[in-house]
Amino acid sequence: MERVVVVTGANSGIGLALCERLLCEDGQLRLCLACRNMQRAEAARSALLTSHPDARVDLLHLDVGSVQSVLAAAQEIKARYRRVDFLYLNAGIMPNPHVDIRAFFKGLFSRNVINMFSTAEGLLTQQDRLNADGLQEVFATNLFGHFILIRELEPLLCQADLTSHVVWTSSSNARRSAFSIQDIQHRNGVEPYSSSKYASDLLSLALNRHKNSQGLVSSVICPGLVMTNLTYGILPSFFWTLIMPIMYLIRIFTNTFTLTPHNGAEALHWLFLQKPESLDARAKYHSQTSGLGRNYTQPRQMDVDSETCEALFSKLLDLEKVVRRKLSEKQHPSSD
């Protein structure tokens, strides 16, 4: 049976590398690139078809930071496909990153260098803003838009006698200390990226608790430290070029420095080969690359608890109702 795979943020970086690896694994699958920038999506599709001429690669316009775009994309997916076997939630943003340069150089030549690069703890902040829906942009893009997409696609993801797999691209920067259940959008903090990624860890566990019985399994991965457009937005590219030899040296001592999108997509690809029912709902699956360049996947227990994940799930459902009502009022204004 033909498998349908939808990948958000598929036009570059880890998302595109995943698509390439999936087509190498199964040339018969139906691959849908769900992207905000359709020009770049078309270029990605052309690149994939160059190496896989017989592949079935579809394009879909999706801006996960816009509820209206998510709803329209979900309708299009339901019109095209009878089911979705894999939904890779890879799209994400880190706007206006600010690096504490003094802390960076202090950490670069200390025994804490590996943890600094792995988690960016105490090093990296961002400046968030409201989007057109009145939501914090990072929260909306990295978490809430994907949540709405899952909700809309439940008829295709939750089917009798079939199992679908939702996979979140999280981060080692996902830290409990950056998240507050009283401020799930992180309106009052300076680490919205870390908060949104920790929230995706929580939400994955909640989805498993609520949807496993309906055939939906959710997993979380960490790609490691990868050089992508997101990374290059933190510091100038020439700076990364200067310190790249140091990073390859550090990889001898830690395997979290995957560095390339191909390596970073290892855990995403590995999950494609597993039976979803056999996976650990509380594990985050980490892409790892050894000093000799061997890729493998390592599960590690997430720092999450059932009470907080249920509270987040409830708050997201409540917010969904509010956002849908506002969208409906906007589209159908009262004549009073």
Token pair, residue 1, equals 């049976």
The answer to whether the CB of 230 falls within 8 A of the CB of 124 is: no
198 is catalytic: no
Distance CA 215, CA 96 (A): 39
Phi, psi of 129 (to 5 degrees): -155, 165
- Would you give the DSSP letter of residue 25? H
Q: Helix, strand, or coil here: 253?
A: coil
* CA nearest neighbour of 90 among 35, 163, 39, 37: 35
Other C-beta atoms within 10 Å of 257: how many?
A: 23
Burial of 240 (0-12, 13-18, 19+ CB in 10 A): middle
Q: Which two tokens stand for residue 100?
A: 């504490």
Q: Which of 193, 198, 285, 296 is catalytic?
A: 193
Distance CA 27, CA 69 (A): 29
For residue 60, the cross-strand partners are 34
Distance between CA atoms of 82 and 113, rounded to whole angstroms?
A: 48
Q: How many CB atoms lie within 10 A of CB 299?
A: 16
Contacts of 29 (CB under 8 A, 6+ apart): 2, 3, 4, 5, 22, 23, 56
Catalytic positions, written as ranges: 193
